[in-house]
Amino acid sequence: MIIINVLHIGIDDTDSPDGMCTTYLASQIINKLNENDIELLDYPRLIRLNPFARFKTRGNGGVSFKIKNDGKANLARQIVLDEVENLSMFDCDNTNPGVIFYEGDITSEMEDYAFRAIHEFITIEEAEEFGKSAGCEIHKFKKGRGIIGSIAAISLPLEDHTFELLTYRASENYGTERLIDYESVYKMDEETYPDTFENIDYSENYIAIEPKTPCPVLYGIRSNNVDSLKKAKDIVKVEEPIADFCIFKTNQHTDMHIQKAENISSMKQFGCYEVCGTVKNRPKIIDGGHMFFYLGDDSGEIECGAYEPTKNFRHTVSHLRPGDFIRVYGGIGEQNTFNIEKFQVIKLNDVEYKNPICECGKRMTSAGKNKGFKCKKCGRKIKSSKKVPVKIQRSLKNFQFYETPVSARRHLSKPLCRMNL
């Protein structure tokens, strides 16, 4: 067996809301490495971390890749540091790049750290201390917050993974309207879904491959495999130059952010969980269009929300009724509300308790507290105040999953089309 000595390289926190994208910076570095005959071992990786991290620009993503740790490794190190120095958006207060070099095999402690960066908050000091103890070479620019994500980006094991093809614009077009032929995106989706996914939100006629920010990305296509990405790229037509493109291996759409909670009270704010519970009340919509209901179990209750951006998903949620037993997936945000990403119905409550029907066929009304029922039509009275169970038709189905639309989906959320249902 040939043992290859590997140099892992991690980069994070180079962009700002006004421009740049760490994936673009990585693709520039990869081009420079290739010009110097330095090839990557495997695809570069785009690793999404804690969706609630405070200083994220957009999707909290770090990038990593690995090369042979041979005579050219020092040249590679220099190229990486120079490009981060040249291209990072240093003017933005919140841009604090971090670069990590690590030689050798990823240890189980590093893997644990990476999962912590997805599930918890980590400080710069903690990351630095951990990185040093693990043997990482650490480079901080400004505050160097990016080292938190860079260490995680090289360390995360990727058993389940997807790929994303990112195409980049010519720099003179940054900030202008993207010239993507939408018809061709519909065709691409038709021909490559479900190998590719998250291309279009049909309910909103929303082209999800197109970013809405002034970043260098022209479009990004997500997929389970590289072949379908190549096919998809051939189908999508654009009326502006594609300056470059790069395929990343990623933890997007794997549900890696979701932890199985034992019960409702064990969940913490800013964590993402899967938990079962009983619907306590009819979902209610409030001003602003957000929809809420309570979910409970023996340990407690939590308010669950389907927010306005989830559009039609709120309509689905509105069909829940008290007594339904469901499994929800999502995260507990700023307001301490469980923000639902998807849910599975485990057991619908298909019984409703109603007033009895009179012999004459009319439903009876209450004759007063503990006074039984009376019939308004024929005047008949009964003493019992017990309501009777009536089976009701439900539009939701037992065992079925329901998810938020593409336009409102988190990078890490696993869509149903990836769930082997």
No. of H helices and E strands in the chain? Answer: 8, 24
Q: Does 185 help bind ligand ATP (rule: CB under 6 A)?
A: no
Our CB check for ligand ATP shows the closer of 57 and 259 to be 57
Q: Does 250 help bind ligand ATP (rule: CB under 6 A)?
A: no
- Measured between alpha carbons, how far is 401 from 239 in angstroms, rounded to an integer? 39
Our CB check for ligand ATP shows the closer of 145 and 414 to be 145
Binding residue for ligand ATP (CB under 6 A) from 7, 9, 11, 12?
12
Q: Which stretch binds ligand ATP (CB under 6 A): 72-80, 141-149, 175-183, 327-335?
A: 141-149
Within 62-101, the residues that bind ligand ATP by CB under 6 A are 96
- Measured between alpha carbons, how far is 319 from 321 in angstroms, rounded to an integer? 6
Q: Does 149 help bind ligand ATP (rule: CB under 6 A)?
A: yes
Binding residue for ligand ATP (CB under 6 A) from 122, 235, 264, 267?
122
- Measured between alpha carbons, how far is 344 from 44 in angstroms, rounded to an integer? 34
Q: Does 56 help bind ligand ATP (rule: CB under 6 A)?
A: yes
* Dihedral over Cα of 166, 88, 410, 51: its sign: positive
Q: Does 364 help bind ligand ATP (rule: CB under 6 A)?
A: no
- Measured between alpha carbons, how far is 34 from 39 in angstroms, rounded to an integer? 6
Structure-token match 């019992």, residue found: 384
Q: Does 60 help bind ligand ATP (rule: CB under 6 A)?
A: yes
Binding residue for ligand ATP (CB under 6 A) from 51, 131, 146, 331?
146
Our CB check for ligand ATP shows the closer of 10 and 330 to be 10
Within 277-306, the residues that bind ligand ATP by CB under 6 A are none
Minimal distance in Å, beta carbon 273 to ligand ATP? 16
Minimal distance in Å, beta carbon 49 to ligand ATP? 4
Binding residue for ligand ATP (CB under 6 A) from 6, 40, 53, 416?
53
CA atoms within 13 A on the CB side of 32: 17
Q: Does 15 help bind ligand ATP (rule: CB under 6 A)?
A: yes
- Name residue 401's beta-bridge partners: 344
Binding residue for ligand ATP (CB under 6 A) from 26, 38, 49, 165?
49
Under 8 Å between Cβ of 31 and 252:
no
Which of 115, 136, 8, 121 is closest to 56 using CA atoms? Answer: 121
Our CB check for ligand ATP shows the closer of 35 and 125 to be 125
DSSP per residue, 220-286: EEEESSHHHHHHHHHH--BSS-EEEEEEEEE-TTS-TT-EE-SSGGG--TT-EEEEEEEE-S--EE-
Our CB check for ligand ATP shows the closer of 99 and 302 to be 99
Q: Does 131 help bind ligand ATP (rule: CB under 6 A)?
A: no
Minimal distance in Å, beta carbon 3 to ligand ATP? 31
Minimal distance in Å, beta carbon 113 to ligand ATP? 10
Minimal distance in Å, beta carbon 31 to ligand ATP? 19
* Dihedral over Cα of 316, 317, 323, 327: its sign: positive
- Measured between alpha carbons, how far is 9 from 100 in angstroms, rounded to an integer? 6
Instruction: Categorise residue 31: left if φ over 0, alpha if ψ from -120 to 50, beta otherwise.
Output: alpha
Q: Does 221 help bind ligand ATP (rule: CB under 6 A)?
A: no
Query: Which x/- pattern, by CB under 6 A, does the window 306-335 give for ligand ATP?
Result: ------------------------------
Under 8 Å between Cβ of 262 and 171:
no
Binding residue for ligand ATP (CB under 6 A) from 7, 9, 10, 13?
13
Which of 24, 3, 45, 1 is closest to 157 using CA atoms? Answer: 45
| Interface ranges with ligand ATP (CB under 6 A) | 12-13, 15, 21-22, 49-50, 53, 55-61, 96, 117, 121-122, 145-146, 148-149
